[in-house]
Structure 1
Amino acid sequence: MSKEYELQTDVLGTIVAATPVTKKHADLLATFATRTDYRSLRYVMTRDTYGSSPARIIDAEGREISPDYRTWIEAQLAAHGGSARQVWLTHKDAGYLFTENQRLLHYFVHDRGGQQDNFVQVAVWEEQEFVERELFPRTDREGLRDVADLRHGSSSMGTEERFERCELGVPRYRLQEVIDMHRFAALAEDLYLARHRADGDRRVIETDCNTGEQRSLTIRELTPGYDQMRWSGRRFFDDWADSSAGRSGERACQRWTFATHDYVDQQGDRELSFVPQWAHTRKVAELKSTRNLDVYGLYGKLTQFDERIGMPFAWYFYGLHGNLVKSGQMERVLEAAEAGLIVLPEHDYRVLRRWGDASYAF
């Protein structure tokens, strides 16, 4: 499938891989500034939630047996009739070592200014190879695992004797993706609207439970405001631009990163979406149960939350994400604002009111 929004190239991948890992990614940023079109690239955040992944197979002297664990294990299974036990019997005394990569995912942004989605997001893996066990146990006294464990590189396949973890070489970069978010958002919105129009034309049968009378209606006719529904990603960027966040000069791409998804279902329909990921580095606590607080106390907590994040109306966008601020808290603020109990800037009230009329979340 063509991914029209992707900008990574073999040249970019080679440049990134050849750049040494340095403190605060200084060399990588300098490389992008001098050798690519992304001269204003800046670091945004790092995700460290990824486990290790299988890398290579080496022998006890460090000589490489295979540069790719998964390719090697598939070849061995094919050569031994798909039997995990036969693969083990063949190699259990070889003393092969299994290496893994510990991974961090760094996000960078090249902000082109203007519309809030007008930026390029660059994601780069930082990988450190290490070894801490032999590939196979020498005996089967603890039982051997199955083919799925072999393919996954499960640590339970390793020897009972553990080695002290040993790092191999130095950390290195690997380019994950370069995404033009302006193109991504435009394509995602076009796909959403086309699918939404088609879904709206579908006809269903409505039955009156009292009389049994039936009538044929379209989804559009059954759903108030159907034609005003919009792709959630577009709403996120528009809400940012219209609210105190955007009006204060904050750029969404410097406060959030975006985990993108490109999905084709069994009917061949394509859907693009993203999940915003906050980029704050300070420890920020969740606004836990606030039911015992009156609306003034709740709004005070949300104001403190904004101060902690360092930007106005941050609580609204964190509420769309849902982990630190909850939708019920947003609803209480809207009700209080409409009752005249608290005063929001008019532009923030309009954004919150739009959400109240047709809520969305990630």
Structure 2
Amino acid sequence: MTLPPVRLPDSASIQAALAGLDPAPIDADLVPALAAAFPGFDFSLARVDDDYWRDTRSVIQPDGTRVGELGPWMTGELAKDGGDVKATWERLKDTGLQITEWRGASAFVFAPTGPAPADYIQIALGREVEWRAGPVVNPDYRPWGEQELLDPSWPRRDPLPDTDRLAGPVYRLLDRAGNAFVHVRSFLDRCGRIEREKREAKRPEMERRVVRETGPGGATRETPFLNLVPDYFEFVPRELRFFRDWEDSSARPQRVFAHWALDARDYTYKGEREVGFIPRPLKMPRERLLLTPETSVHQLMDRIEAVDGEVGLPFGWFFLMTHGHWVEPDVGLAIAEGLKAQRVRLPDADAAVLLRWAERSYGF
């Protein structure tokens, strides 16, 4: 494999490439535009069906002329009436003024940077369209407070006709939690480092901590916490385990990003650094796989094989299980017990990964 240049894309240069796209052919032009901006990277695009609404709203005249952003504009209108919500509503309800809103769905762009599962970059984007959403005030219902005017709930949430499309589609960086762009290997290194630093900072406390147990006759015994959890400082975050399990299993020949996107986060909350991701499947089976009292381990083996076929990934069921929705963890535990009892078989590499997970499970 020919590796791309050392210089990775950055937010400013990605935004510049996105700004030059024409809305009409934007879906077809996105990957070529990024490839032109960043030579040497083999980009691919995956779109996700997860509709969202931006909190940016505008006010327009009936002819489409833009008046201003809803919040500041409505605040000014209320000020004209001395804060009298009823008077503002009476004055605006027959003006024909409209609210616009941006509706979007997530999209992810990927490009490999090397042969290992974590050797790639991910760009999180939103594909957004601005729509004419509804009247600036609800003409049929008088609001009781200014918040109802500043954050209206009456605009439609159902699909809108194309005649109400005002702008877009456009792609923009989705920087919801500080990670619109990630180099995954570097991100995993950061996850591991931050977790180690957190635990090391607690070392004095952990070394002092004891677990008290009351035995027969009321006698109390104290056991040092670290005697009970000797590997406390060797804890491996679930994000690193996900990629390690991929590399150690029969999924390894395929790219992680061909099957999963990562909702990555890196932010500080109440003085504590939070770094990690939630994996999002790009390919889902037709239905969830649940363990019922009537399900035998041999039936489970048939079903996980079917799941792998549906998502096009060997051992794909396992990673869907760590995600927690499409395959419930009890399925993995049941198959692990079947392996131990030699009632069923998996490829050796997959069996080792599953048994390792069953001993200390993780999930997202």
Q: Partner of 1:262 in structure 2?
A: 266
Q: Once the 2 structures are TM-superposed, how far is the Cα of residue 95 of structure 1 from its aligned partner?
A: 2.8
1:166-245 aligned at under 5 Å gives the runs 166-176=164-174, 177-202=180-205, 203-210=208-215, 211-213=218-220, 215=222, 217=224, 219-245=225-251
**Partners of 1:193 and 1:175 in 2: CA distance:** 30
Normalising by structure 2, report the TM-score: 0.84
Q: Which residue identity is paired with 2:149?
A: L
**Closer, same or farther: CA 92–317 of 1 in aligned 2, 3 Å:** same
Deviations 1:26-85 (A, max 9, x none): 21111111122463110123233324654321111211111x334444565677776655
Q: Which residue identity is paired with 2:153?
A: S
SS of alignment partner, residue 39 of structure 1: coil
Q: Once the 2 structures are TM-superposed, how far is the Cα of residue 12 of structure 1 from its aligned partner?
A: 2.1
Q: Partner of 2:177 in structure 1?
A: none
Note if contact 2:138-2:154 (Cα within 8 Å) is conserved in structure 1.
Answer: no
1:35-74 aligned at under 5 Å gives the runs 35-37=37-39, 39-51=41-53, 53-66=55-68, 68-73=69-74
Judge which range, 75-84 or 343-352, deviates more: 75-84
Q: Which residue identity is paired with 2:143?
A: L
Note if contact 1:201-1:220 (Cα within 8 Å) is conserved in structure 2.
Answer: no
**Closer, same or farther: CA 90–182 of 1 in aligned 2, 3 Å:** farther
**Closer, same or farther: CA 16–308 of 1 in aligned 2, 3 Å:** same
**Partners of 1:22 and 1:338 in 2: CA distance:** 57
Q: Which residue identity is paired with 1:181?
A: V
Deviations 1:255-276 (A, max 9, x none): 100001224232x120201100
Note if contact 1:130-1:165 (Cα within 8 Å) is conserved in structure 2.
Answer: no
**Alignment size in residue pairs:** 345
Unaligned runs of 5+ in 1: 1-5
**Closer, same or farther: CA 97–229 of 1 in aligned 2, 3 Å:** same
**Partners of 1:72 and 1:16 in 2: CA distance:** 29
Judge which range, 220-229 or 309-318, deviates more: 220-229
**Closer, same or farther: CA 163–278 of 1 in aligned 2, 3 Å:** closer
**Closer, same or farther: CA 287–163 of 1 in aligned 2, 3 Å:** closer
**Partners of 2:185 and 2:146 in 1: CA distance:** 43
CA RMSD of aligned residues (A): 2.9
SS of alignment partner, residue 262 of structure 2: strand
Are residue 297 (structure 1) and residue 299 (structure 2) matched?
yes
Note if contact 2:291-2:328 (Cα within 8 Å) is conserved in structure 1.
Answer: no
**Partners of 2:11 and 2:82 in 1: CA distance:** 39
**Closer, same or farther: CA 17–125 of 1 in aligned 2, 3 Å:** farther
SS of alignment partner, residue 57 of structure 2: strand
SS of alignment partner, residue 351 of structure 2: helix
**Partners of 1:24 and 1:173 in 2: CA distance:** 8
SS of alignment partner, residue 310 of structure 2: helix
Q: Partner of 2:5 in structure 1?
A: none
**Partners of 2:272 and 2:76 in 1: CA distance:** 35
Deviations 1:159-213 (A, max 9, x none): xxx9996222442222322222222221111001111233354233433323453
**Partners of 1:259 and 1:42 in 2: CA distance:** 17
**Closer, same or farther: CA 341–58 of 1 in aligned 2, 3 Å:** same
Note if contact 2:143-2:149 (Cα within 8 Å) is conserved in structure 1.
Answer: no
Q: Partner of 2:115 in structure 1?
A: 114
Q: Once the 2 structures are TM-superposed, how far is the Cα of residue 132 of structure 1 from its aligned partner?
A: 3.8
**Closer, same or farther: CA 192–38 of 1 in aligned 2, 3 Å:** farther
Judge which range, 341-350 or 206-215, deviates more: 206-215
Q: Give the structure, 1 or 2, with the largest relative contact order (CA under 8 Å, sep 6 or more).
A: 1
**Closer, same or farther: CA 271–170 of 1 in aligned 2, 3 Å:** closer
